[in-house]
Amino acid sequence: MQIIPKILNELQQIVGEKFVFIDDETRYDYGHDETEDYNFPPHVVVKPTTVEEVSAIMKMANINKIPVTPIGAKTGLSGGALSIHGGIGLSMERFNKIINIDEQNLQVITEPGVITQILKDAVGEKGLFYPVDPSSMGSCFIGGNIAENSGGARAVKYGVTKDYVLNLEVVLPNGEIIWTGANTLKNSTGYNLTQLMVGSEGTLGVITKIVLKLIPKVSHNVLMLVPFYKAEQACEAVSAIFRAGIVPSALEFMERDAIDWTMKYVEGVSVSIKDEIQAHLLIEVDGNYTDILFQEAEKIMQVVEQFEIDEVLFADSDEQKNALWKLRRAVGEAVKSNSVYKEEDTVVPRYELPTLLKGVKDIGNKYGFQTVCYGHAGDGNLHINIVKGNMTDENWQTEVPKGVVEIFELTVKLKGTLSGEHGIGYVQKDFMPIAFSEMELELMKGIKKVFDINNIMNPGKILPHSL
Amino acid sequence: MQIIPKILNELQQIVGEKFVFIDDETRYDYGHDETEDYNFPPHVVVKPTTVEEVSAIMKMANINKIPVTPIGAKTGLSGGALSIHGGIGLSMERFNKIINIDEQNLQVITEPGVITQILKDAVGEKGLFYPVDPSSMGSCFIGGNIAENSGGARAVKYGVTKDYVLNLEVVLPNGEIIWTGANTLKNSTGYNLTQLMVGSEGTLGVITKIVLKLIPKVSHNVLMLVPFYKAEQACEAVSAIFRAGIVPSALEFMERDAIDWTMKYVEGVSVSIKDEIQAHLLIEVDGNYTDILFQEAEKIMQVVEQFEIDEVLFADSDEQKNALWKLRRAVGEAVKSNSVYKEEDTVVPRYELPTLLKGVKDIGNKYGFQTVCYGHAGDGNLHINIVKGNMTDENWQTEVPKGVVEIFELTVKLKGTLSGEHGIGYVQKDFMPIAFSEMELELMKGIKKVFDINNIMNPGKILPHSL
């Protein structure tokens, strides 16, 4: 497929000449996200800035049956923003305004192209809190977070993106502009189009405005790093902390390798770790009353001391806390910088975490690959990095996929599923039949057709063997 | 339509003779819920007890194009469980087992026919908390709560039913059995069928198993009743409490009439109220540390004292607390027992509550009807009872509907919507075009068709002018 001059001309009419790009540099720049080393450039990159422009683009694309792939900050980890069939790459970067921080109703109305951290800071200045914090929050867009239903470290206490989305303005594939719901905390009015849009990875429409729920800011937290001699005991401790009646605001698991590699990768962060330590838990509690936080930290100490642990490190200053979080957030990039890799975003009920971890190691041994595991243990979300290391290219191509299938089968057997927060996108879609029956997938295909009869909206994503 | 002997015979084969009823007494008993005085009896009432039985019933009904209406505890307030086209009334009352309280993962797996209060008590005995508490929780079913996305008083802090549903086993209209998701806190795996099912009022399938998230039990609370000289100031105070950084666990609004009528209706509860008092707020904070609760109560006092209030009543004992809650929960029934009525379940962003209240009174004056308002002010959910009182039958028939339309138009103008927690069901469906555009409704109709091509699953609900 080529973008013919007529189409190009129409796009230029809609957004203005200087926001339409067909040069290779721009196309390849918008052809990738953070998913392994894929690059699928669109034929043309378009950068609209109003809902009317997006509507006009979609109308035109729908008439001409041209694929349109919404592109956010290109930080995705499942290839949701890859233009696998070329067509129009719809960059949302100019939708970068926070429209209104509503201090009366504890809500914010924002455009999708705002960086999540900027949004968090802006509402924070008003004493409000948007708690969702994907590791990439310094660069990802809030719109992409909604498309993928992003999670992060604080999800264990505060929930994921979907729990804060009240209402969305969406341009449908046919160009019609809709609102999915209302700006209310309660809503029992028709089918929940808002929640159907969240996590739909740009396959049902283009999100152009977002109404989010906020909560009052939380003023204090306590952060501790607990070294475990046995990785599986670290996983067991996770469930024990909740059973003790504590809901931590973060509960992160890192295998030894994850920390070691990250300390090499990140400058200025160093923790001394005994050789025998296999894993760490990074545990945070937060609230407005420091006395209570210390009581809760004490309770957590009582729980973790029942396991084989080394000395617990309490972060005393903001500086120390930031350093520990910097370490944790850099794990993904650090592990990936070290080798060719594949990342899986498994999620299980949290008590099944030790079984999942052991299973992953066994499967790795069976197929001859090494894994580095880390993630949001508090909500059972384990990121599994399969690193190529010294594996032959042939084994990497033939053995790893078999292992991945077995990992997903184990996840589903444990009542979990394929992706906790990264989405299915392009790279995981063919594994969907492991999690869903044919009937369940038929329903999803049916929904896709209701929204997008011509299959122009980010085609070839989510649904198995989809084109 | 009649149920012909062949169909009856098949139903008897599936569930056993003694669980198929065609006598008038049973049919009329299952022909109503708590929605005004409607009665639409099914032709036959069937009481299955396994998912396989439900599957066989749906397969048979689908082949023969017989309407099937799932019936829970018949406590609904929008007519969702009315068999408006007769057919099969599918009572879920024998799905009454709590299957597993999972203390390791803080989850419960239950059948839909369990009374919500029984479920709350059962998990409470294990130190766990299912916080959703619709006023009818002593008699409603958890399955009905999911069908309607029920809320309640604690939603303001803890969220509504949808926020606790992780995964559902559903029998589709064609008899196929599916699971909608996974038993995990995070999930970015395909379209969110779970949230599509929540609030779909039995129009997309029959829920047969439910996996709910639980949280650790909260041990203490403080409850206070604040009398306001001006009703609109009570509404204003609601937003001010949140702006002071407090998230109460309940924040209920009651107009003067609501309390007066309820005290006549409920035995053994009495509060002395000055003549000039126009409204009350019932405010609860909860947590595990009593010191903190008293600090928060103190902060709330500082906020409400900025308005014109009478002396605040603190409930000192469990007995007093129960009495106040009994009073609050009985308001709905009390108001209704007093007159022919219509109830609207409006919801707006909470700061708009005073505007909504004033608007409702103005509209009432315009069309000559009286309203009694109460509800969950913390989340902007105002129940408006339009009472017939001395109105003529003619005016009741002609003027009230015009007023209702204006109330809903006002609600939507304030960025709210038609129903916060009661659902649309039968009685509100024709108002849907006030909240949704034609395109938005077309999407909902399309989704309905994907699930139920023959329109046999609780037909004639939710969608405007649907049959």
Which residue from B195, B424, B450 is facing A446, i.e. has the nearest CB?
Answer: B450
> Quick check: B159 and A163 CB within 8 A?
yes
Q: Is B412 on the interface with A (CB under 8 A)?
A: yes
So what's the pLDDT on residue B386? 95
So what's the pLDDT on residue B1? 55
Between residues A221 and B466, the one the model is more confident about: A221
| CATH classification number, A221-413, choose in 3.40.350.10, 1.10.150.20, 3.30.70.2190, 1.10.3720.10 | 3.30.70.2190
CA A57/CA B311 separation, integer angstroms:
61
Determine which of B174, B186, B194, B452 to mutate to test the interface with A (most A C-beta atoms within 10 Å). Answer: B186
So what's the pLDDT on residue B395? 95
Which residue from B155, B190, B423 is facing A185, i.e. has the nearest CB?
Answer: B155
So what's the pLDDT on residue A142? 98
Q: Which residues of B148-160 are buried (b: 16+ CB within 10 A; e: fewer)?
A: bbbbbbbbbbbbb
Average pLDDT over residues A38-59: 98
CA B363/CA A329 separation, integer angstroms:
55
Average pLDDT over residues A307-325: 94
> Quick check: B160 and A190 CB within 8 A?
no
**Closest by CA position to A403, among listed A437, A366, A351:** A366
Tell me which chain A residues have a C-beta less than 8 angstroms from the C-beta of B288: 245
User: Tell me: the pLDDT tens digits for A274-295?
Assistant: 999 999 999 999 999 999 999 9
The residue whose two tokens read 């069908």 is: B147
CA A50/CA B14 separation, integer angstroms:
57
Residue A40 tokens read as 């699928």
Tell me which chain A residues have a C-beta less than 8 angstroms from the C-beta of B436: 190
Residue A309 tokens read as 């642990």
* Minimum distance, in Å, between the CA of residue B233 and any CA atom of chain A: 15
Tell me which chain B residues have a C-beta less than 8 angstroms from the C-beta of A160: 185-186
CA B239/CA B351 separation, integer angstroms:
6
* Minimum distance, in Å, between the CA of residue A457 and any CA atom of chain B: 15
Residue B2 pLDDT grade (very low, low, confident, very high; cuts 50, 70, 90): low
**Closest by CA position to A353, among listed A228, A441, A260, A259:** A228
Residue B347 pLDDT grade (very low, low, confident, very high; cuts 50, 70, 90): very high
Residue B270 pLDDT grade (very low, low, confident, very high; cuts 50, 70, 90): confident
Give B177's contacts (C-beta < 8 A, 6+ positions apart). B51, B55, B169, B170, B171, B208
Residue A467 pLDDT grade (very low, low, confident, very high; cuts 50, 70, 90): confident
* Minimum distance, in Å, between the CA of residue B152 and any CA atom of chain A: 10
> Quick check: A196 and B192 CB within 8 A?
yes
* Minimum distance, in Å, between the CA of residue A463 and any CA atom of chain B: 8
Nearest CA in chain B to A176: B439
ipTM for the whole complex:
0.96
> Quick check: A420 and B188 CB within 8 A?
yes
Which residue from A151, A179, A186 is facing B347, i.e. has the nearest CB?
Answer: A186
Across the beta sheet with B98-102, what order do the strands follow? B98-102, B107-110, B206-213, B165-171, B177-179
The whole-chain average pLDDT of chain A stands at 95
Q: Angle at Cα B129 formed by Cα B125 and Cα B134, nearest 5°?
A: 110
Are A321 and B324 a contacting pair, CB within 8 Å?
Answer: no
* Minimum distance, in Å, between the CA of residue B333 and any CA atom of chain A: 21
> Quick check: A186 and B148 CB within 8 A?
no
Task: Tell me the torsion sign for CA atoms A159, A163, A168, A174.
Answer: positive
Are A285 and A205 a contacting pair, CB within 8 Å?
Answer: no
CA A40/CA A458 separation, integer angstroms:
12
Residue B4 pLDDT grade (very low, low, confident, very high; cuts 50, 70, 90): confident
Chain B, residues 318-337, CB within 8 A of chain A, namely none
CA A347/CA A413 separation, integer angstroms:
11
For chain A, percent of residues with pLDDT exceeding 90: 90
Amino acid identity, residue B215?
I
So what's the pLDDT on residue A1? 55
> Quick check: B105 and A351 CB within 8 A?
yes
Indicate the SS3 state at residue A371: strand
* Minimum distance, in Å, between the CA of residue B127 and any CA atom of chain A: 8
Average pLDDT over residues A414-433: 97
Q: For the domain bounded by A98-216, which CATH number is listed?
A: 3.30.465.10
> Quick check: A155 and B186 CB within 8 A?
yes
Q: For the domain bounded by B339-455, which CATH number is listed?
A: 3.30.70.2740
User: Tell me: the pLDDT tens digits for B348-381?
Assistant: 999 999 999 999 999 999 999 999 999 999 999 9
Q: How far apart are the first and last CA of chain A?
A: 15
User: Tell me: the pLDDT tens digits for B90-111?
Assistant: 999 999 999 999 999 999 999 9
User: Tell me: the pLDDT tens digits for B293-336?
Assistant: 999 999 999 999 999 999 999 998 999 999 999 999 888 888 88
Q: Could you state, in order of their start, the residue ranges of all structural domains in chain B?
A: 5-91, 98-216, 218-337, 339-455
Which residue from B188, B349, B381 is facing A422, i.e. has the nearest CB?
Answer: B188
So what's the pLDDT on residue B338? 79
CA A99/CA A76 separation, integer angstroms:
25
Beta-carbon neighbour count of residue A274 at 10 Å? 9
Q: Is B453 on the interface with A (CB under 8 A)?
A: no
| Least confidently predicted of A144-153, A357-366, B236-245, B301-310 | B236-245
Residue A243 pLDDT grade (very low, low, confident, very high; cuts 50, 70, 90): confident
**Closest by CA position to A449, among listed A202, A204, A166:** A204
Q: Is B298 on the interface with A (CB under 8 A)?
A: no
Q: Is A306 on the interface with B (CB under 8 A)?
A: no
CATH topology agreement for domains B218-337 and B339-455: yes
So what's the pLDDT on residue A2? 67
Q: Which residues of A316-346 are buried (b: 16+ CB within 10 A; e: fewer)?
A: eeeeebebbbebbbbbbbbbbebbebbbbbb
> Quick check: B191 and A192 CB within 8 A?
no
Determine which of A102, A179, A189, A410 to mutate to test the interface with B (most B C-beta atoms within 10 Å). Answer: A189
Residue A335 pLDDT grade (very low, low, confident, very high; cuts 50, 70, 90): confident
> Quick check: B187 and A242 CB within 8 A?
no
Query: How many contacts does A have with B, using Cβ atoms within 8 A?
Result: 271
User: Tell me: the pLDDT tens digits for B436-458?
Assistant: 999 999 999 999 999 999 999 99
* Minimum distance, in Å, between the CA of residue A138 and any CA atom of chain B: 21
Average pLDDT over residues B14-18: 98
Q: Are strands A20-21 and A44-46 parallel, antiparallel or unpaired?
A: antiparallel
* Minimum distance, in Å, between the CA of residue B199 and any CA atom of chain A: 6
User: Tell me: the pLDDT tens digits for A357-406?
Assistant: 999 999 999 999 999 999 999 999 999 999 998 999 999 999 999 999 99
So what's the pLDDT on residue A221? 96
DSSP bridge pairs for B21: B45
> Quick check: A439 and B163 CB within 8 A?
no
Are A68 and A21 a contacting pair, CB within 8 Å?
Answer: no
The residue whose two tokens read 């029992």 is: A188
DSSP bridge pairs for B284: B223, B250
Determine which of B149, B172, B178, B191 to mutate to test the interface with A (most A C-beta atoms within 10 Å). Answer: B191
Give A318's contacts (C-beta < 8 A, 6+ positions apart). none
| CATH classification number, B218-337, choose in 3.30.70.2190, 3.40.50.150, 2.40.110.10, 1.10.3730.10 | 3.30.70.2190
**Domain A5-91 is in which class?**
alpha beta
Q: Is B172 on the interface with A (CB under 8 A)?
A: yes
Chain A, residues 108-127, CB within 8 A of chain B, namely 127
Average pLDDT over residues A305-321: 94
Determine which of A191, A299, A427, A440 to mutate to test the interface with B (most B C-beta atoms within 10 Å). Answer: A191
Burial class (CB in 10 A: 0-12, 13-18, 19+), A126: middle
